[in-house]
Amino acid sequence: MSTTRPLVSVAVPLYNESAGIAAFHGELHAAIKQATDNSFEIIYCDDGSLDTTATIVRDICASDRHTKLLKLSRNFGKENALSAAIATAEGQAILMLDGDGQHPIAAIPAFIDAWKKGAQVVIGLRTDNDNEGMIKRAGSWLFYSLFNRATGQKLVPGTTDYRLIDRSVQQAFLSLPETGRITRGLIDWLGFERVFIPINRPARTTGTPSYGFRQLVGLATSSFVSLSSIPLYIFGYIGLFITSVAFLLGIAVGVEQIILGDPWHWRFTGSAMLGILILFLVGIILISQGIISLYLSHTHNQTKRRPLYIVDYRGSAGLQHEPEEV
């Protein structure tokens, strides 16, 4: 392996991309080679593909010293595959993009320029998402507004996973051990000097999007659960509200009906009073659930220690054969 760091590492997660990967690689290789003056590495992380993606990338590695393959032992999901590729990257900057052609390779020089001018995080900002259905767009709007409110973070809508991070950001990113992660949420959480680059997101060239509606909802839920404890507490708050209302009602009824002898003719029946009592007790149960949740969330924050992924195979045939060359 060369002793000097490559200028840029490109991290690409791949899941069942056999149809388009060869063409994608050709285009990516040419673009990054030119943009970095031949100082780069490309890391493909095969996320347990069921097709021949890994074999194709192995073949690419055999003839291209700049390319490495990281093959996970099974499908761990894009976010973890991307983390695996980022962890392996040795460059002074790490550029991450999807392997399905949806992150335009033509924008690479703009990312590198922004970084050279001092940005530590360069983020692709989607300018049009006409290719996405109404439901996906509405879902993404809902996610961003709820997420920002619940976590106090500011995720900018339209930001993509097409990003370049400085090595210093990579080191900080790798110190975050949590599972159920969403890469862009974590990078946003880290802060650093940020610059946005507008990109046009074309439709997928080959294959099918592996993030269906269910996976997207799953991703949104797990980001919520990992970055916010509000869903846990919310029933505690509801309980507090119900109990307070029932308490006030109970006092009002007691005073008006029993002590004063019903001067305003509220005529509360016995079952209405029973209803108020039940409400009061339900509220107390919910509050106690909220308290349990406090402890649960504390534990939950302490237990995110599982490794994010398991690497099955790591290497670059080219590098093994010609270890000393740059």
- Whichever of 198 and 231 has its CB closer to ligand UDP, that residue is 198
Token pair belonging to 222: 């797990």
- Whichever of 102 and 120 has its CB closer to ligand UDP, that residue is 102
- Whichever of 49 and 170 has its CB closer to ligand UDP, that residue is 49
Cα separation, 54 vs 16, in Å, equals 9
Using the rule CB under 5 A, is 188 a contact of Mg ion? Answer: no
Using the rule CB under 5 A, is 79 a contact of Mg ion? Answer: no
Chain residues in the site for ligand UDP (CB under 6 A)? 13-15, 17, 47, 75, 77-78, 81, 98-100, 102, 209-211
- Whichever of 120 and 183 has its CB closer to ligand UDP, that residue is 183
- The listed partner (Mg ion, ligand UDP, none) that binds 13, CB under 5 to 8 Å by sort, is ligand UDP
Least distance from Mg ion to the Cβ atom of residue 204, Å: 5
Helices marked H in 89-229 — which ranges? 108-116, 134-151, 167-174, 183-190, 213-227
Could you tell me if 50 and 210 are in contact, meaning their C-beta atoms sit under 8 angstroms apart? no
- The listed partner (ligand UDP, Mg ion, none) that binds 79, CB under 5 to 8 Å by sort, is none
Least distance from Mg ion to the Cβ atom of residue 100, Å: 4
Three-class DSSP category at 90: coil
Using the rule CB under 5 A, is 100 a contact of Mg ion? Answer: yes
User: Which are the contacts of 324, defined by CB distance < 8 A and separation ≥ 6?
Assistant: 2
- The listed partner (Mg ion, ligand UDP, none) that binds 144, CB under 5 to 8 Å by sort, is none
User: In this structure, what are the phi and psi dihedrals at residue 70, rounded to the nearest 5 degrees?
Assistant: -120, 115
User: Which are the contacts of 235, defined by CB distance < 8 A and separation ≥ 6?
Assistant: 286, 289, 290, 293
- Whichever of 55 and 288 has its CB closer to ligand UDP, that residue is 55
Least distance from ligand UDP to the Cβ atom of residue 94, Å: 16
Alpha-carbon distance values, 211 to 144, 220, 234, 235, 305 (Å): 18, 12, 29, 31, 26
- Whichever of 109 and 209 has its CB closer to Mg ion, that residue is 209
Least distance from ligand UDP to the Cβ atom of residue 95, Å: 14
Longest dimension (CA), the chain: 97
- Whichever of 17 and 188 has its CB closer to ligand UDP, that residue is 17
Least distance from ligand UDP to the Cβ atom of residue 307, Å: 17
- The listed partner (ligand UDP, Mg ion, none) that binds 61, CB under 5 to 8 Å by sort, is none
- The listed partner (ligand UDP, Mg ion, none) that binds 81, CB under 5 to 8 Å by sort, is ligand UDP
CB burial readout 237-271, b (16+ within 10 A) else e: ebbeebbeebeebeeebeebbeeeeeeeeeebeee
**Amino acid (1-letter code) at residue 72:** L
Least distance from ligand UDP to the Cβ atom of residue 280, Å: 48
Helices marked H in the chain — which ranges? 21-36, 53-63, 78-88, 108-116, 134-151, 167-174, 183-190, 213-227, 230-253, 270-302, 317-321
Least distance from ligand UDP to the Cβ atom of residue 305, Å: 22
Using the rule CB under 5 A, is 102 a contact of Mg ion? Answer: yes
Q: Which residues bind Mg ion (CB under 5 A)?
A: 100, 102
